[in-house]
Amino acid sequence: MTRSNPLVAIYPGSFDPVTLGHEDIARRALRFADRVVVAVARAATQAKRPFFSLSERLEMLEEVFGDEDRIECDSFEGLLVDYARARDIRFVIRGLRAVSDFEYEFQMAQMNRELYSDFETIFLVPNVDYSFLSASLVREVAVLGGDVSPFISPSVLRRFEEKLGAEGVG
């Protein structure tokens, strides 16, 4: 089967910060997508104040994916479906690490489809090395002085060092 239009998928998230697990999922998506837009949401909910600012999160994504022409990094405000529809993107990538992710992801997938009927969610399973990894755990370990260098790229580690001081993050 041949496709006339390039297959573009969006990989949205808070990316606070981007971890090696996120990186793995975005690069895996390139196995079937022609291009992937990694899109950082301004705030997942109004109640959650991010650790890294929106511009810091976007800069980290750009550093991490700077080697890959087929990955574009962007940010969006408001509903994911509005951003995707405006760009005519019909596929959304989400990583599923464990059964515990499933309920939330399933609800989000169904709600997004209610809001944008052409929007298909594609779940990808990360490398087993990252199946326990989450940005929130990485933040907690970094803030409490643990070594997070196995879980994030060197450029993200530098950002933690700048924010927290050099001790305890690598």
Our CB check for ligand PNS shows the closer of 74 and 170 to be: 74
How far, in Å, are 26, 117, 122, 160 from residue 9 at the CA level?
10, 16, 9, 29
Our CB check for ligand PNS shows the closer of 10 and 33 to be: 10
Shortest distance, position 160 Cβ to ligand PNS, whole Å: 18
For ligand PNS, the binding residues (CB under 6 A) are: 12-14, 41, 44, 79-80, 108, 111-112
Shortest distance, position 115 Cβ to ligand PNS, whole Å: 7
Query: Cα–Cα distance between 68 and 35 in angstroms, integer?
Result: 10
Instruction: Give the closest residue to 25 by CA, choosing from 136, 142, 131.
Output: 131
Our CB check for ligand PNS shows the closer of 83 and 160 to be: 83
Our CB check for ligand PNS shows the closer of 92 and 169 to be: 92
Count other Cβ atoms within 10 Å, centred on residue 94.
18
Instruction: Give the closest residue to 135 by CA, choosing from 158, 160, 112, 108.
Output: 160
Shortest distance, position 166 Cβ to ligand PNS, whole Å: 27
Shortest distance, position 29 Cβ to ligand PNS, whole Å: 14
Query: Cα–Cα distance between 148 and 86 in angstroms, integer?
Result: 37
